[in-house]
Amino acid sequence: MKHISVFDCISLTVYSFTFLLGLPANLLVFFVYVRKAQKHGATPNVVYTINLCLSNLVLVAWMPVKSAYTVLDVWILPELLCPIYNFFVVASLYGSGLLLTAVAVGRYLSIAFPISYKLYRRARTSCMISALLWAIVLLHLSLALVAEKGAYFVSPFMPNTSKCYENFTQEQLDVLLPLRLEMAVMLFAVPLLLSIFCTLRCLALVKRSCLSAGSKRRILAMELSALLVFVVCYTPYNISHVVGFITHSNVTWRREAIVSSCCNVFLEPVVMLMLSPSRPKDLVYRMCSKRTPKQYQVKETLATKQRGTTFAAVHRCFVKAGLNTMLVSQLLLPVYILTFLIGLPANILAFCTFCRKVHRKPAPIDILLLNLTISDLIFLTFLPFKMKEAIDDMIWKMPEYLCPLSSFMFFSTIYTSTFFLTGVSIERYLGIAFPIQYSVYRRPLYAVIASMIFWLVGTLNLSIVYIVPSLPSSNSSDSDSLNCSMTPPSEMKCYNNFTQEQLSILLPVRLELFVVLFCIPFLVCGFCYINFIRILSQLPHISRRRKLRAIGLALGTLLVFAVCFGPYNASHVVGFVRAESEDWRDLALISSTLNACLDPIIFYFSSAAVRSAISGFVKGMKEKSHVLKCRKIHCCPMLVSETDKYRDRDTPPLDNQRHSLGQLELEGAL
């Protein structure tokens, strides 16, 4: 394992943001344009954008492999995956470039020749063009596979280490370098020149048009941003092809050059949203606009001219209520049940293990993990209330006093989990960065005090659940006061319907929760684990297997932190910007709910006691099953348990069990 440089940390950060931002952004744009095609019919712009989203999603799918290869600098996956990995990554990059060019050409033709272009504009033609562009890319990359002469692109680098698509023989370079140059010319230079020509011509035509100044500025920003993304994202990687052909070598900075190419995954969705004539807010509404279920449909016979405006507002609100009900019935309830069935036994096992370990010999990390387990168990205890709410289509039919209580415990445990995950990351970083100093000042009492502070900060911030419902509400009968949080008569929702007075306090508090309880812990956690990986990679006396396990734990914890808590906290920012409570907040809770069954995985890799408890549980189950089997067939010999087998063995001398203080602390950190 190599020393992780500063640029490797930057690359890892870019790949992480590419995955965390690119995946939801491209899924959002994909569903927006699919909905647009279903409602208004497919247009060339829609066809190209859908293909562009699919290209980006292919690249996003391989980002975890790219991140692991950057950290380890060796190829540890099966050799067969190496050409598949490179094939899809490079195909996604070049396919996105050609599709951006097709979008630029289409916009130029629509502005320069509006009547002729409208006559010959067909979605079938755009599909054929997209298929042709993909065929060109796949053909070029298939020729690159031939350059390796059927090998798997995995070559030895050092003893017991391999590289993927990096070490080539001179014979392979004689074929590969001219092919790379041809790809840089045909798949990058020609599309770039064509995009520049179309963009400049569009800007010249728009400048002479009779459009308003605001429309001109919007088109100018859209065209220049699309061209800027093309140049910044794809130029460095293709320049490496030209330099490699001139120097007749495989340039060493190709891996660094591809970092900018990955940024297109989360930059292109911004360009795609700008391509739509609607605002992003309208696009989200268009994506979510589905027919209401029958119980919320308002009959047309009730609409009269005197009540037309009020009826339209009520109908829009019931449509959104029907949408939320459908999504809850299909998504939330199965996730709640799955989390409860998996998370409850796993966390109970972890709780018993940590209790025994803390009782015998308390350690700071065990105290933090014990509190994290308690937080998850409290969350799982109140999860059945959410199940009942989901079964009732998000209508609260339980006693009213349970609404603030369940919401308070539900949300406070979500945020205390972020604190305890951050505390674990700090403890692991200090244990490996300053092993001697940390062992001197490490006290279980400090972990107890930190846990009390975490619980106090989390519960105080979430007391807003009790404060907001006590605020006075304004009852306005005007049609303009209708918002889409209303429900049918005689139905009550829990912590969902808010007045403007309540939102004026609730939205800033949610923004504060995002900053204090998510952003700061996430930044601290990221800093600790990135430095943890950097220091660990430099230690020569740690086995490669233990390094991989520790690095995998660090990256997995960061991924759980971002994926589980990111979407729900993002709804706080969006709601504050738009000055309303977002309707998709319940759906964002899906990932936060899954945290309760993902935390035990962190427990397993963080604590040897949990691993031994699980292995002991499995062995015990095997012994019991063997006993039952022997009793059933009446041929059971004298059974000897695994514990009895080792009971009479001589224990090793005490001297062989002693380690240095630094080594013990390092093992505790790993």
- Closest C-alpha to 503, from 569, 588, 576: 576
- Closest C-alpha to 642, from 666, 617, 605: 617
Of residues 446 and 71, more confidently modeled: 446
The reported pLDDT for the residue numbered 160 is 56
Confidence of residue 287 (pLDDT cuts 50, 70, 90): very low
pLDDT tens digits, 485-517: 444 445 677 777 777 877 888 888 888 888 888
The reported pLDDT for the residue numbered 191 is 92
Tell me whether residue 422 is exposed, middle or buried, using C-beta atoms within 10 angstroms of its C-beta: 0 to 12, 13 to 18, 19 or more. buried
Q: Is the pLDDT of residue 17 over 70?
A: yes
CA distances from 184 to 187, 192, 245 (A): 6, 10, 11
Q: Average of pLDDT values for 597-620?
A: 65
Q: Average of pLDDT values for 175-192?
A: 88
Of residues 10 and 160, more confidently modeled: 10
pLDDT tens digits, 323-354: 455 555 567 788 888 888 888 888 888 888 88
Q: How many residues does the chain have?
A: 670
The reported pLDDT for the residue numbered 482 is 33
Q: Average of pLDDT values for 71-96?
A: 82
Helix, strand, coil percent content, the chain, rounded in steps of 5 = 80, 0, 20
The reported pLDDT for the residue numbered 452 is 92
pTM of the predicted protein model = 0.49
The reported pLDDT for the residue numbered 159 is 55
Contact 180, 188 (CB under 8 A): no
Top CATH class, 329-469+511-614 = mainly alpha
Q: Is the pLDDT of residue 289 over 50?
A: no
Q: Is the pLDDT of residue 131 over 80?
A: yes
Q: Is the pLDDT of residue 52 over 80?
A: yes
Token output for 353: 């293990």
Of residues 305 and 556, more confidently modeled: 556
Q: Is the pLDDT of residue 273 over 80?
A: no
pLDDT tens digits, 358-385: 888 888 888 888 898 899 899 998 888 8
pLDDT tens digits, 381-409: 888 888 888 787 778 888 888 888 888 88
Residue labelled with tokens 């700090």: 426
Residue 154, H or E segment: strand 154-158
| H, E, C per residue of 505-541 | HHHHHHHHHHHHHHHHHHHHHHHHHHHHHHHHHCCCC
Q: What residues have CB less than 8 Å from 273, skipping those under 6 apart?
A: 29, 32, 280, 283
Q: Could you give the residue ranges of the DSSP H alpha helices within 382-519?
A: 383-391, 402-433, 435-441, 444-461, 464-467, 500-514
- The topology (CATH level 3) of 6-286 is Rhopdopsin 7-helix transmembrane proteins (1.20.1070)
Confidence of residue 215 (pLDDT cuts 50, 70, 90): confident
Query: How many Å apart are CA 62 and CA 390, to the nearest integer?
Result: 35
pLDDT tens digits, 223-261: 888 888 888 889 989 998 899 888 888 888 887 888 888
What does residue 80 show for φ and ψ, rounded to 5 degrees? -65, -30
DSSP state of 332: I
3-state secondary structure (DSSP) of residue 113: coil
Q: What residues have CB less than 8 Å from 54, skipping those under 6 apart?
A: 30
Domain segments of the chain: what residues? 6-286, 329-469+511-614
Q: Is the pLDDT of residue 484 over 50?
A: no
- Closest C-alpha to 425, from 564, 604, 554: 554
The reported pLDDT for the residue numbered 218 is 77
The reported pLDDT for the residue numbered 193 is 92
Q: Average of pLDDT values for 530-543?
A: 82
The reported pLDDT for the residue numbered 468 is 63
Averaged confidence pLDDT in the chain:
75
Burial 179-190 (b: 16+ CB within 10 A, else e): bbbebbeebbee
Contact 38, 50 (CB under 8 A): no
Q: Could you give the residue ranges of the DSSP H alpha helices within 43-80?
A: 44-61, 63-72
Of residues 200 and 71, more confidently modeled: 200
Q: Is the pLDDT of residue 654 over 70?
A: no
Query: How many Å apart are CA 389 and CA 386, to the nearest integer?
Result: 5
Q: What residues have CB less than 8 Å from 270, skipping those under 6 apart?
A: 25, 225
Of residues 136 and 639, more confidently modeled: 136
Of residues 260 and 155, more confidently modeled: 260
Query: How many Å apart are CA 211 and CA 217, to the nearest integer?
Result: 10
The reported pLDDT for the residue numbered 470 is 42
% of the chain with per-residue pLDDT over 70: 73
Query: How many Å apart are CA 502 and CA 468, to the nearest integer?
Result: 6
Query: How many Å apart are CA 48 and CA 126, to the nearest integer?
Result: 7
3-state secondary structure (DSSP) of residue 68: helix
The reported pLDDT for the residue numbered 194 is 92
Q: Average of pLDDT values for 172-199?
A: 88
- Which amino acid makes up residue 656? N
Query: How many Å apart are CA 132 and CA 136, to the nearest integer?
Result: 6
The reported pLDDT for the residue numbered 329 is 55
pLDDT tens digits, 562-577: 888 888 888 888 888 8
Same-fold call for 6-286 versus 329-469+511-614: yes
Provide the pairing of β-strand 154-158 with 161-164: antiparallel
The reported pLDDT for the residue numbered 625 is 57
Confidence of residue 611 (pLDDT cuts 50, 70, 90): low
Query: How many Å apart are CA 254 and CA 381, to the nearest integer?
Result: 52
**How many helices and strands (H and E) does the chain possess?**
27, 2
Of residues 157 and 219, more confidently modeled: 219
Q: Is the pLDDT of residue 290 over 60?
A: no
Query: How many Å apart are CA 573 and CA 511, to the nearest integer?
Result: 6
User: Of the given ranges (120-129, 297-306, 607-616), which has the lowest mean pLDDT?
Assistant: 297-306
User: Of the given ranges (240-254, 524-538, 615-629), which has the lowest mean pLDDT?
Assistant: 615-629
Query: How many Å apart are CA 127 and CA 7, to the nearest integer?
Result: 40
Q: Is the pLDDT of residue 280 over 80?
A: no
Query: How many Å apart are CA 566 and CA 574, to the nearest integer?
Result: 12
